A = this chain, B = another copy of it.
Amino acid sequence: MIKASVIGASGYTGGELYRLLLMHPQVQVQEITSERFAGEFATKIHPNLRSFSQQKFSSVKDMKRDSDVVFLCTPHEKAMDYVAEFMNSGMKIIDLSADFRLRNAQTYERYYTKHRHPELLSQAVLGIPELHHEEIRNAKLVGAAGCLSTSVILALAPLVKNGLIDTERIIADAKIGSAAAGASFDISTHHPERQGVVRSYKPTGHRHTAEIEQEMSLLAGRQVRVGLTPHAVEMVRGIMSTVHCWLPKQLADIDMWKAYRGFYRDSPFVRLVKEKGTLYRYPEPKMVVGTNFCDIGFELDPTMPRVVVMSAIDNLVKGSGGQAIQCMNLMFGLDEKEGLWRPGMHPI
């Protein structure tokens, strides 16, 4: 059994990770921490876990350092200090904050703040198994990818890898549920204000742009630019990324299929969805709620050199907690699917 601890388990990311760890047949959850709720039962904050958890939150300072793996679900800027502290503890580290996603300290600083442990950046692996399978298997420190980033990266990777699109003019128009805000609230998530919106809260310059451009540039072998525009829409869980790409030369469906099938041949959590004769012919976030799947589909525009790629994930699973466990599975030599192989619900 893998002994796992979760730092910052009272938020949505930490809570969902905790739930998935509790269900994982090879994991025993050692400790869960929350500075704010230390001493309280986890079920007080995550009532869904009634009958499944009798644990209380503890404080990090009281935490034993004897887990096999520690998950960090703290806000970015805080996580980096914990990572530095735990780096030589023998525990593997999976950081779900933004602190170890970017390879370049300058880029990190531009989007976040000055990095206090830039020397550790080179030891971190970005936690997207579909792109960094082998590195994750051998990693001591994984920086789990962001939710928007994961959905856009998985949509784009096969196209960029195969040089099929204009890498100067990529538009990623994303639609995201309110769980992305985390458990802390303000007027923007107040129900009367948030219900039913389509709100482009950050039409340019969103932080996740950095991760997407980093990964795409790595695949392309040159600088790639992505215009990311997320919209808050009416759902709790879920991201739909609609990625519009311009094609230097016209493609046929078969070219697209080849690129995607080839790239994701060994990726059980990517499902290609492009079906005829049904309402569900493209990916939709509803279909993946509660699951670790990233559904990807596409449509070539017959009237212009454009392809529309659609990608759907549950931001709390494939976009954070589930993907972190997928990484853990690899780091401990387990089947990638262990503890995560569940279908979604219909309807939901």
Contacts and interface: CB of A to CB of B under 8 A. Distances in A.
A223 to B, nearest CB: 11
Given A236-B347, A242-B173, A279 B200 contact: no
B240 A196 contact: no
Given A44-B275, A244-B171, A299-B204, A289 B343 contact: no
A287 B197 CA distance: 9
A197 to B, nearest CB: 6
Nearest to A269: B51
A189 B191 contact: yes
Total copies of the chain:
4
Interface string A137-166: 000000000000000000000000000000
A181 to B, nearest CB: 7
8 contacts: A23-B343, A47-B346, A50-B295, A175-B198, A196-B286, A203-B282, A225-B303, A237-B347
Given A175-B233, A183-B190, A196-B286, 19 more contacts: A44-B280, A45-B278, A47-B273, A47-B275, A50-B271, A50-B295, A171-B306, A175-B198, A179-B192, A185-B185, A192-B236, A196-B235, A200-B310, A205-B302, A227-B308, A229-B242, A229-B308, A231-B242, A289-B348
Contact of A273 (B46, B50, B187): B50
